[in-house]
Structure 1
Amino acid sequence: MSKSSVTRIINIYEKWACVTNPYKGISGRRKLFSRNDMYILQNLIRDKVNRYLNELVSEMENLTGKRASIATLWRSLHYLEITRKKLQKKAYEKSEIIRAHYLGIIGEHYTPNQLIFIDESTKDERSLSRLYGYSPRNIRACKKVVFVQGKRYTILPALTLDGFVAVDVFEGACDKNKFVKFVLDQVIPVMNPYSGNNSVIIIDNVRIHYDDDLISPLEGLGCHVIFLPPYSPDYNPIETAFSIINHVLNVIMILWMLVMIQYILY
């Protein structure tokens, strides 16, 4: 830094108590969009998150009368810290009101030790395929994987505050008869009349679960049957258990491969 620059900074600091002149205008090329225009751009993104850049250019021209290039619009989004991400799709039928009502009922009328959650998960040879990998810049990360489905297995567990109290694993998909049989044969024996432990069964809001052969025996025992809100698997803690199981299976596969490599080499 030159002596004149240091002198200029000292003079500015002595005058304004900061190292830049607070009343000096912004240097550089004048921006096309004003602050109000940037608010309009934010609202456009908030209103519809999956617009293309050329669509945003047209919308901004209609609303502000200013025609920007795609590069200028992209820089404006970057300035607003708005980035392009993989779109997370949510079911239109998902109702936050119904979900809030469900949480209110569970929180007001039941305790954790009363709840027993049931859900099924299906896996095949493709389930352990990893979605991400590493490669040099500008080179795709490729790996040969199994495309054929092969044998499919279903795990059907019941989860309580103490862990899994019942589980069934079978080949193929889960249908109504298999689900009802699992509940009658393995879950009901560990349940109690309300308001004892394991007295409230919570299951997904799907067609195969709405069956008198399932609900009548549970209600006859004095248990409560509650269905999750539509499209709300995140309210079932068994989904977290499935994620942990999947992670463990991945680790076991890695260890098995290392053992096989050592066996072949040595």
Structure 2
Amino acid sequence: MNGSAFLAYAEQVLAPELHPGDIVVMDNLPAHKISGVREAIEKLGARLLFLPPYSPDFNPIEMAFSKLKALLRKAATRTIDELWSVVANCLAAFTAEECRHYFEAAGDDPE
């Protein structure tokens, strides 16, 4: 993802969902740090925090990616069409409770 695409996402998708006091936590992807992203978040009264560099343990998505990659390796698909089908099936294997545990393990309360 490039910076202009992420800025468009931040302004058009993320910002309309934010409320004063919300906290947005991002990793250190260069696209997250381009001019305008912080402003789009903070003008609504939300805060932007960046994870420390090289801190996948604080990022709940990294735990989900780890499980997803293991499931994909186990499926051992050989074609793009098979891959799309397997990805859809793998994503269905994630329960809301499991995802809540990912946040808790990263030190966040999802409530």
Superposition TM-score tier, normalisation by shorter sequence: 0.5 to 0.7
- Tell me the alpha carbon deviations over residues 215-252 of structure 1, each in whole angstroms, 9 at most, x when there is no partner: 10110000000011122222111111112232343455
- Tell me what 2:53 maps to: 230
- Tell me what 1:201 maps to: 24
- Tell me what 1:212 maps to: 35
Higher relative contact order (CA 8 A, sep 6+): 2
Whichever structure has more helix as a proportion of its residues is 2
- Tell me the alpha carbon deviations over residues 167-194 of structure 1, each in whole angstroms, 9 at most, x when there is no partner: xxxxxxx111122222222222222210
Code of the residue aligned with 2:59 in structure 1: it is N
- Tell me the alpha carbon deviations over residues 68-109 of structure 1, each in whole angstroms, 9 at most, x when there is no partner: xxxxxxxxxxxxxxxxxxxxxxxxxxxxxxxxxxxxxxxxxx
- Tell me what 2:68 maps to: 245
Root mean square deviation of aligned Cα? 2.1
CA distance 1:188–1:230, shift in 2 (3 Å): same
CA distance 1:184–1:246, shift in 2 (3 Å): farther
CA distance 1:240–1:216, shift in 2 (3 Å): same
Query: Taking structure 2 as the reference length, what is the TM-score of the superposition?
Result: 0.57
Residue 180 of structure 1 pairs with residue 3 of structure 2: no
Q: After superposition, where does 1:89-128 map in structure 2 within 5 Å?
A: none
Q: Distance in 1 between matches of 2:75 and 2:16?
A: 33
- Tell me what 2:19 maps to: 192
- Tell me the alpha carbon deviations over residues 157-213 of structure 1, each in whole angstroms, 9 at most, x when there is no partner: xxxxxxxxxxxxxxxxx111122222222222222210xxxx111111243322231
Code of the residue aligned with 2:51 in structure 1: it is L
- Tell me the alpha carbon deviations over residues 134-160 of structure 1, each in whole angstroms, 9 at most, x when there is no partner: xxxxxxxxxxxxxxxxxxxxxxxxxxx
Q: Would you say the 8 A contact 2:10–2:40 is kept in 1?
A: no
5+ long unaligned stretches in structure 1: 1-173, 257-266
Q: Would you say the 8 A contact 2:56–2:62 is kept in 1?
A: yes
- Tell me the alpha carbon deviations over residues 39-88 of structure 1, each in whole angstroms, 9 at most, x when there is no partner: xxxxxxxxxxxxxxxxxxxxxxxxxxxxxxxxxxxxxxxxxxxxxxxxxx
Larger radius of gyration: 1
Aligned length: 78
Q: Distance in 2 between matches of 1:240 and 1:205?
A: 17
Q: Would you say the 8 A contact 2:24–2:49 is kept in 1?
A: yes
Whichever structure has more strand as a proportion of its residues is 1
5+ long unaligned stretches in structure 2: 83-111
Q: Would you say the 8 A contact 2:10–2:41 is kept in 1?
A: no
Query: Taking structure 1 as the reference length, what is the TM-score of the superposition?
Result: 0.26
